[in-house]
Amino acid sequence: MKKHIFFVLDYYLPHHWGVETVFEQIITRLLKKNYKITLLTSRFDQSLPSYEHDHNMEIYRVGKTRLSFMVLALWKGLKILSLASDISVIHTSTYGWAIPASIMWILFRKKVILTVHEVFGKLWIMYKWWVLGWMYLLFEKLVFMFNYNLYHCVSRYTMNSLRTLYRIPDKSIEVVYNGVDTDFWSSQQVSEDEILDWKKKNTWNGRYVVLYYGHAGKSKWLDSLVDCIPQMMKYDPDTLFVFNIIDSKRRSEVMKRLKDLEVFWFARQIQIFQGMDKKDLRTMVASCDVVVAPSFSEGFGSVHTEVVAMDKPLITTYVASLPEVVSGKVVFVRPGSSYDILESLLTIKEDQQIWENLPVKNFSWNTTVDAIEHFY
C-alpha cells in the first residue's frame, strides 16, 4: 500500500464540469497505483449518501453549499485526521478549504498541497458587484496569507500571478499542467454517421453552426458573443448559434438574454442546451463549424484544449494561460470585442483559413499524475 492522501474538495462526482473533473482524473489514476484515498467533499445533492466506501477510497460528504461546506468540513476534517494517523498529505484546491487545510497542517503536522487553478486579484472587482468584488479580493488575499507546503499551479500564468500578486517564493511553486483526455477528445471517436444523425436530429443540416459550451461566468466573457448575434444575422440569417451552458451563478442572466433574442427576433438562429452527457457533447463539438470561447481570464482552459484536440477552429482571446495551452486552428481576438468575433466568424464561413496553425501541445493525464505523485 502506498501513501494515504486526504483530498478536501468543494465538489466531486457526480457533480460535473468544474474542477472536480480534474480531480476525478487524478484520483482515478492514484487508485490504480494502489494509493489509499480519503475524500471530504460537499453533499450538494441531499440524496447522496454522507459516507461511501469502495476498496481503497472513502468519501465523506457534509454541507450543501460551498459556505456550509467550509464550516462543516473543518470539524469533519479534524475528526478524520484525529482518527487516521496514516494520512501522509492533505491535498486541496483554491479557494474554499485552503485556509482550513493550513490550520490542519499547524494542528496535525500534515503537509498540504494547494492546487491553484487561477488567481484573480483585482479582476474580482470587474467580475462581481464592486462591494462583493472587494470581499472576494480580500478573501483571496487572506487565503494566500496562510502557508502551504507546496503550491501546485496549473499553468505558468497562474504561477506568475502568485509570484507578482502574493510574492509566493519560487521554491514553493511547481507548475504541472492539467491533462487533456485526447483518447476521448478526438475527432476519430465520432463517426460520420453520428455527425449526420446529430445534424438531422437538431436541424443543423445546411447551417453554419457556431458553438459555445461551458460556464457562463463573467470571466468567460460570453456577453461578447451574445452581442454579435444581431449583427451576424444581418450578414447570414442561416447562421445557428448553439449554447450549452452548465450550472453557474450567471447562467440565468445569460439565459434570459438569449431567450429575449429568441422571442423577439432570432428564434430560428439560437439553440440552448443546459448540460449534457459527455459523449453527446463530443458529438456536438465534432458536428459544429467553429467554437467561440472568448475568455477574459483562464487558469488552464479546459474547453479550449478540448476543442483544439478535436481539430475544430477555435476563436478565443490572447490572454492569461491561453497562449500557453492552445494549438492547432486558433483565431485570437481582442478581449470583449464582439466586432472581432463577428469578423472572424464571417471570414471562417467564407472558407478563408485565417487561423494560426499553432504547433501541437500534448497534455497527458498520466504525466500530470506522475508529477503529482512525485510531490507526494
Residue 169 and residue 218 in one domain: no
Residue 339 and residue 220 in one domain: yes
Residue 337 and residue 310 in one domain: yes
> What is the C-alpha separation between 149 and 109, in angstroms, rounded?
11
Contact, 257 vs 228, CB < 8 A?
no
pLDDT (0 to 100) of residue 248? 62
Residue 119 and residue 141 in one domain: yes
Residue 166 and residue 209 in one domain: no
> What is the C-alpha separation between 216 and 248, in angstroms, rounded?
6
The DSSP H or E segment spanning 57 is strand 57-61
> What is the model's pTM?
0.92
101: left (phi over 0), alpha (psi -120 to 50) or beta: alpha
Residue 192 and residue 158 in one domain: no
Residue 201 and residue 166 in one domain: no
Name the residue range of residue 61's domain: 4-175
Residue type, 83: L
Q: What is the pLDDT of residues 294-342, one digit of tens each?
A: 999 999 999 999 999 999 999 999 999 999 999 999 999 999 999 999 9
Residue 207 and residue 298 in one domain: yes
Q: What is the pLDDT of residues 331-349, one digit of tens each?
A: 999 999 999 999 999 999 9
Contact, 331 vs 304, CB < 8 A?
no
Structural domain tally of the chain? Answer: 2
Residue 104 and residue 231 in one domain: no
> What is the C-alpha separation between 185 and 302, in angstroms, rounded?
11
Say if 218 falls within a structural domain: yes
Residue 333 and residue 205 in one domain: yes
Which regions of the chain are under pLDDT 70?
1, 17, 247-250, 262-267
pLDDT (0 to 100) of residue 247? 66
pLDDT (0 to 100) of residue 265? 63
pLDDT (0 to 100) of residue 301? 94
Q: What is the CATH number of the domain that holds 62?
A: 3.40.50.2000
Residue 335 and residue 192 in one domain: yes
Angle formed by the axes of helices 223-235 and 338-349, to 10°?
50
